[in-house]
Amino acid sequence: MSYLKIIVVDDDCNIAKSLSDILVLNGHEVTCSMSARQALEFLDKQPYDCLISDIKMPNMDGIELSRQVKASNHPIPIVLMTAYATQHLLSEIIGIGVDKVVLKPVEIESLLGYLAEL
């Protein structure tokens, strides 16, 4: 498995911390962000290999965060997490160019498998 520098974005600190701990145990470097705006600031300061974000967050959701990252000079693979997948939501996500959608609770083996392909 290759080492990745990952940013995890979730306004629920327990979810962000749990996911971060698992990713670190699997050899990745992880930065946690509690908001999309903070994540954009982190992305402006240094390069990352992947962004994993919740969709439903206050102020700026994961979909808008994805739009901004994909429109940036350094787009990276994006994984969006949601507990509420609808056909309309999935169509919107595909239109943005998000690389993967995972349902909460996250199936860790599936996520790690995807990351191993990057």
C-alpha–C-alpha distance, residues 101 and 73, integer Å: 23
Q: What are the boundaries of each domain within the chain? A: 5-117
* 85, pLDDT greater than 90: no
C-alpha–C-alpha distance, residues 13 and 69, integer Å: 22
Structure tokens given for 81? 């997490």
What percent of the chain has a predicted confidence (pLDDT) above 90?
84
Class of 5-117 per CATH?
A: alpha beta
Our CA angle for 51, 75, 88, nearest 5°, is 70
Structure tokens given for 103? 């349902």
Span of 23-32, 48-57, 59-68, 72-81 with lowest mean pLDDT: 72-81
Instruction: Name the pTM for this structure.
Output: 0.94
pLDDT reported for residue 49: 97
Structure tokens given for 12? 């629920």
